[in-house]
Amino acid sequence: MKSNNVLPQGEEKKKMVRAMFDSIAPTYEKANTYMTFGLDKYARKILVKELRIPQHSLILDLASGTGDFSRMFTKLGHDTLAVDLSFNMLKAGKDTKNKIQCDGTNLPFQNDSFDAIVCGYALRNFVNIDELIIELFRVLKPGGKFMAVDVSVPTNPIIKFGNQIWFNNIIPKIGRFISKNKEAYEYLPRSTSYLPSDDILSSNFKEQGFEAVRISRLVATSLIMINVTKPVGAVND
């Protein structure tokens, strides 16, 4: 992986992301908990609470990693399917039953398959956000919901300053100590710049046909919550 400040693009990015997560998979959950003081799991709990869907819904856990969302929704009585580009991340989620290794922008599912799709801290790792949104729209059932939580560049200058210190100086050291992969944890903080601004991201979802688009920020953090719905009468092209 490149250690300079130039972020990879296109197919290079895809290969790098897969290799990086394959490398850090065994210690991924532990490192996240230490680096965020548990905030990562707290944000996931908020998303689970906000995703109001009927019991026994079929949920796609997109870029599932080790399967946090899959475990949480399974405990609530839903049916889940985890997909991720990294085989080792899926393998590390030993108590996640239903899982497939695949690219989220080319999902091996029929149109209108899922009641909901969730994604945790991974949107910025996709090569093309627009292609991803098109694919989300395709596999969601009419009336289905997509929700995601991710790390973005803070808009508040004070929070942004604090985040820069934490992300640039502390996180790489924690990552190196826990996973022995400093480069991965130098990339992850910088990868927040891949995500478009809230306004542009909102427009992207609307342009692809989604409605009830809401993008909110968790107070005093760099985390954003995305909540969109596929219209009830929507028809795939």
Parts of the chain with a pLDDT under 70: 1-5
84 domain residue, yes or no = yes
Cβ atoms of 154 and 160 within 8 Å: the answer is: yes
Cβ atoms of 227 and 147 within 8 Å: the answer is: yes
Strands ordered across the beta sheet of 79-84? 99-101, 79-84, 58-62, 114-120, 140-151, 223-229, 211-217
| pLDDT the model gives residue 4 | 53
Phi, psi of 83 (to 5 degrees): -130, 145
1 domain residue, yes or no = no
Greatest C-alpha distance within the chain: 51
236 domain residue, yes or no = no
235 domain residue, yes or no = no
| pLDDT the model gives residue 1 | 45
Q: How far apart are CA 181 and CA 161, in angstroms?
A: 25
Strand partners, 229: 145, 211
Element (H, E) at 118: strand 114-120
108 domain residue, yes or no = yes
Phi, psi of 91 (to 5 degrees): -65, -35
Q: How far apart are CA 216 and CA 37, in angstroms?
A: 21
81 domain residue, yes or no = yes
Q: Which CATH number do you get for residue 46?
A: 3.40.50.150
Report yes or no on whether pTM surpasses 0.95. Answer: no
Count of the separate structural domains present in the chain: 1
224 domain residue, yes or no = yes
DSSP state of 7: P
Q: How far apart are CA 205 and CA 129, in angstroms?
A: 10
Q: By residue range, what is the domain housing residue 219?
A: 10-229
Other C-beta atoms lying within 10 Å of the C-beta of residue 57: 19
4 domain residue, yes or no = no
| pLDDT the model gives residue 5 | 64
Handedness of CA 29, 214, 14, 186 (dihedral sign): negative
